[in-house]
Chain A
Amino acid sequence: GAGVSQTPSNKVTEKGKYVELRCDPISGHTALYWYRQSLGQGPEFLIYFQGTGAADDSGLPNDRFFAVRPEGSVSTLKIQRTERGDSAVYLCASSERAGGLTDTQYFGPGTRLTVL
């Protein structure tokens, strides 16, 4: 079956611009996660959705970052006034159940964001 997909695969933008990154989770998966992976580091948690609501947004670095999942499926990560330090690979993952600590998180290929 189809896995997690993310668009675009690459995004180059200028400092100060607004960007949106899209994630299509595996069909039927209740939980959705966003992570950010900087060069040479492991993924870092940003936000977790149970259905439509953000259950944990403690990883969002500041108020320039926002994410939505209005219908409990597709999610969009929005970054305002981008800064060069936002450059990273943004990863999306989904898992079958909300609250399932042992559930496998299935990752998408990521969106590579470059802020010039």
Chain B
Amino acid sequence: AQSVTQLGSHVSVSEGALVLLRCNYSSSVPPYLFWYVQYPNQGLQLLLKYTSAATLVKGINGFEAEFKKSETSFHLTKPSAHMSDAAEYFCAVTSMEYGNKLVFGAGTILRVKS
């Protein structure tokens, strides 16, 4: 079965602090992994994606994520949080086994304190 687990439905950090949002996946075949961000009343926007080219993936707005096969993880990080990073973040996975559909985690709401 293919699924995505995002640990922590809510994460709170201070402005300037490290952001770490956790994502673990399960897949019986090599996965492709995505992080999307959703700002209030807006659509999902792609932050970055892992397509097997490189395990460390850099995305927009200073975010990056590292694919770790041994840990079945794809955690999202940013060295220094900004107030504008406050949003909901979704990890998603797809693979050959499940066709083109994305399977999403439940999401993590990031709060940035001033």
Binding site for B on A (CB under 8 A): 3-4, 31, 33, 35, 40-45, 48, 55-56, 59, 91, 93, 95, 98-102, 104-110
Report whether B100 and A91 are in contact in the complex, using a CB–CB cutoff of 8 Å.
no
Report whether B102 and A4 are in contact in the complex, using a CB–CB cutoff of 8 Å.
no
Report whether A59 and B101 are in contact in the complex, using a CB–CB cutoff of 8 Å.
yes
CA distance A45 to B99 in the complex (A): 11
Chain A residues near B42 (CB, 8 Å)? 109
Interface residues in B, total, Cβ within 8 A: 27
CB distance from A93 to the nearest CB of B (A): 8
* B95 CB–A CB distance under 8 Å: yes
Report whether B100 and A42 are in contact in the complex, using a CB–CB cutoff of 8 Å.
no
Binding site for A on B (CB under 8 A): 4, 9, 32, 34, 36, 41-46, 49, 51, 90, 92, 94-96, 99-107
Report whether A99 and B100 are in contact in the complex, using a CB–CB cutoff of 8 Å.
yes
CA distance A91 to B102 in the complex (A): 12
CA distance A45 to B93 in the complex (A): 12
CB distance from A16 to the nearest CB of B (A): 29
Main SS at interface, chain A: loop
CA distance A59 to B100 in the complex (A): 12
Q: List 15 A-B contacts (CB under 8 A).
A: A35-B104, A40-B9, A42-B4, A42-B107, A45-B103, A98-B100, A99-B100, A100-B100, A101-B32, A101-B100, A107-B36, A107-B43, A108-B43, A109-B41, A109-B42
CB distance from B106 to the nearest CB of A (A): 5
- Among A3, A31, A41, A107, the residue within 8 A (CB) of B100 is A31
- Among A98, A101, A106, the residue within 8 A (CB) of B95 is A101
- Among B41, B44, B45, the residue within 8 A (CB) of A91 is B44
